[in-house]
Amino acid sequence: MATHKDTEPKLVFTGQAWEAEMLKNILETEGISAYINNEATGNMFPFLTTPGMGAVKLVVAKEDFEKAKALVSEFEKGRFD
């Protein structure tokens, strides 16, 4: 039986809404389900998103965290340009 800890979402990125949306698409292309939190705040108040209290957060399932984190790292290095 899965516990709450097993299904707890893991944070892989915090930043601006446009970056989170791009990363979500990259992760989903790789077969990883990703969800954006605080998207409305990030779009309405973008000046709060670096990485302030209105920052957009991208989360994935715990079992996808390592692969997702590696892809986020590649994105941050500009490898998906």
**Burial (CB count within 10 angstroms: exposed 0-12, middle 13-18, buried 19+), residue 39:** middle
Integer Cα distance of 5 and 16 in angstroms: 28
Q: Between 37 and 69, whose confidence is greater?
A: 69
pLDDT given at position 81: 60
Integer Cα distance of 39 and 55 in angstroms: 8
Q: Which CATH class is domain 4-76?
A: alpha beta
Ordered by start, the domain boundaries in the chain are: 4-76
Question: Global pTM?
Answer: 0.74
pLDDT per residue over 9-28, tens digit each?
999 998 888 899 999 999 99
